[in-house]
């Protein structure tokens, strides 16, 4: 075999060795078609592929790259950590430092919020552990989740999930037993009456309601006015826990995640939070956090088991610490501003091309939904009913112009502190032609 160089050659080799040629389904470009670009380096707002093509990146490693790619302060901290050893398999000071940073950001004036933290390696592990913890702490089995919310790929949470499951149009996953599925009740997002009904019928069996802080895996779908507060109220009323999944939004929407812009302002708190992505600054780290008396159910202080060979890995902790230390108020203001610019230009370009759409936006997270302006998108049924076929041509026109969008209409667009005006201008310049491609689809 000759040494593969082009994206096509690399994809062919990868497909021979790995299912679909990928290690995570959406990367295979299944819903947009074409050959995935094989990236070989990343810096600031840019990615460069194996053929030497440079793209403005709007995927941001699927969220972690809040400060942009290869931020010097994070790279320096990672180098120092590597020099000290790749892992100790023991406790070490950087774990406590990252936990302190999380707690200091995610707390109300009384110090309630992320009171205790357990580091894990992925968002999937965080939500899986949070569910086990909720069951262990309440002695109940049922979990309620919302259709279109994605909480990772643990068995019980794959029913009607967003992200890649939505992209592939799957109802769930093969390999999940009926017993596991039967312990998850799925209802439409933003549907208070359905939540009331489930609690009226089975309230005493419900261990937890898990929700994305603001859904962003069926495209971005803002919670209706007071919806999260309602989840808080109804779970408290029935002795169930509220798990607020901030894997996507944590330390991204504000310095205290989406809770910082909602619960902290409105005066409510979930029992448990899950974090991922930004907390690891690009390396594999995630966390479960929450009320002390619940967190203390985790082993070794309590009977709910969780462990991890790489939990709290020192190199990942160093990346997380450096990322949070440099995620200042200015960073969030910059990202919010640039997101406003790109989202407005996206809407204008689609209007100019006569493409019916809605821009779904919460803080700096946004996505586009085609053919939805009449009904809007406030749940999964509406997200799925959109004219998704317009996204492939739109995506490829942007790619052609050197802009790397998420390869699925159901994923959010991520900006970073490194998206300066020059990078944003490249996105703006590419939009009109892409909008025409969407119109022609």
Q: Is 26 in the site for ligand PLP (CB under 6 A)?
A: no
> Whose Cβ is closer to ligand PLP: residue 133's or residue 349's?
133
Least distance in angstroms from the C-beta of 250 to ligand PLP: 9
> Whose Cβ is closer to ligand PLP: residue 213's or residue 353's?
213
Binding-site member from 21, 25, 136, 152 for ligand PLP (CB under 6 A) = 152
**What contacts 80, CB < 8 A, 6 or more positions away?**
318
> Whose Cβ is closer to ligand PLP: residue 122's or residue 138's?
122
CA angle centred on 368, ends 401 and 336, rounded to 5°? 85
Least distance in angstroms from the C-beta of 439 to ligand PLP: 30
Least distance in angstroms from the C-beta of 120 to ligand PLP: 9
CA angle centred on 206, ends 205 and 209, rounded to 5°? 175
Tokens of 225: 């006015």
Residue nearest to ligand PLP (CB): 123
Q: Is 124 in the site for ligand PLP (CB under 6 A)?
A: yes
Least distance in angstroms from the C-beta of 267 to ligand PLP: 24
Residue owning tokens 């086990």: 132
Cross-strand pairs, 293? none
> Whose Cβ is closer to ligand PLP: residue 21's or residue 60's?
60
Binding-site member from 29, 46, 146, 150 for ligand PLP (CB under 6 A) = 150
Site for ligand PLP in 217-246 (CB under 6 A): 217, 245
Q: Is 407 in the site for ligand PLP (CB under 6 A)?
A: no
Binding-site member from 71, 257, 276, 407 for ligand PLP (CB under 6 A) = 276
- Measure the CA–CA gap between 345 and 423, rounded to whole angstroms: 14
Least distance in angstroms from the C-beta of 343 to ligand PLP: 19
> Whose Cβ is closer to ligand PLP: residue 105's or residue 151's?
151
> Whose Cβ is closer to ligand PLP: residue 11's or residue 62's?
62
**Residue count at the site for ligand PLP (CB under 6 A)?**
15
Binding-site member from 140, 151, 396, 419 for ligand PLP (CB under 6 A) = 151
Among candidate residues 46, 150, 391, 404, the one labeled active-site is 150
Active site residue 380: no
Least distance in angstroms from the C-beta of 152 to ligand PLP: 3
Q: Is 127 in the site for ligand PLP (CB under 6 A)?
A: yes
Binding-site member from 95, 183, 212, 436 for ligand PLP (CB under 6 A) = 212
> Whose Cβ is closer to ligand PLP: residue 113's or residue 276's?
276
Q: Is 248 in the site for ligand PLP (CB under 6 A)?
A: yes
CB atoms within 10 A of CB 171: 10
Terminal C-alpha separation, the chain = 38
Active site residue 277: yes
Active site residue 361: no
Footprint of ligand PLP (CB under 6 A): 122-124, 127, 150-152, 163, 212, 217, 245, 247-248, 276, 286
Active site (catalytic) residues: 150, 245, 277
């Amino acid at each position: 075999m000759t040494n593969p160089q082009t994206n096509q050659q690399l994809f062919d080799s990868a497909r021979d060795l790995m299912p679909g040629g990928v290690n995570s389904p959406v990367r295979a470009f299944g819903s947009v078609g074409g050959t995935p670009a094989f990236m070989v380096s990343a810096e600031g707002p840019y990615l460069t592929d194996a053929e030497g093509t440079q793209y403005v990146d709007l995927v941001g490693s699927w969220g972690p790259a809040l400060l942009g790619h290869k931020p010097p302060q994070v790279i320096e901290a990672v180098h120092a950590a590597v020099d000290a050893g790749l892992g100790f398999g023991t406790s070490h000071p950087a774990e406590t430092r990252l936990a302190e940073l999380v707690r200091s950001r995610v707390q109300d004036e009384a110090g309630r919020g992320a009171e205790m933290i357990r580091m894990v390696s992925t968002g999937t592990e965080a939500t899986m552990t949070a569910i086990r913890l909720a069951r262990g702490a309440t002695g109940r089995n049922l979990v309620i989740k919302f259709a279109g919310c994605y909480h990772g790929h643990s068995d019980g949470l794959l029913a009607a999930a967003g992200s890649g499951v939505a992209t592939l149009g799957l109802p769930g996953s093969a390999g999940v037993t009926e017993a596991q599925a039967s312990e998850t009740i799925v209802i439409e997002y933003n549907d208070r009456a359905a939540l009331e009904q489930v609690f009226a019928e089975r309230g005493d069996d419900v261990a937890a309601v898990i929700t994305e802080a603001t859904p962003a895996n069926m495209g971005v779908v803002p919670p209706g006015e007071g919806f999260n507060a309602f989840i808080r109220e109804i779970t408290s009323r029935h002795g169930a826990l509220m798990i607020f999944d901030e894997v996507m939004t944590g330390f991204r929407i504000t310095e205290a995640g989406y809770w910082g812009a909602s619960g902290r302002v409105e005066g409510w708190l979930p029992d448990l939070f899950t974090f991922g992505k930004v907390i690891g600054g690009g390396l594999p780290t995630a966390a479960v956090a929450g009320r002390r008396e619940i967190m203390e159910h985790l082993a070794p202080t309590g009977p709910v088991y969780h462990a991890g060979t790489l939990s709290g890995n020192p190199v990942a902790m160093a990346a997380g610490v450096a990322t949070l230390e440099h995620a200042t108020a200015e960073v969030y203001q910059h990202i919010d501003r640039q997101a406003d610019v790109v989202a407005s230009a996206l809407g204008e370009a689609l209007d100019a091309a006569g493409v019916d759409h809605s821009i779904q936006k919460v803080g700096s997270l946004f996505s586009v939904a085609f053919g939805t302006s009449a009904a809007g998108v406030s749940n999964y049924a509406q997200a799925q009913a959109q004219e998704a076929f317009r996204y492939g041509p739109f995506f490829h026109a942007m790619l052609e112009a050197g802009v790397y969008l998420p390869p699925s209409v159901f994923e959010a667009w991520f900006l970073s502190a490194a998206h300066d005006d020059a990078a944003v201008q490249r996105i703006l310049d590419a939009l009109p032609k892409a909008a025409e491609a969407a119109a022609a689809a």
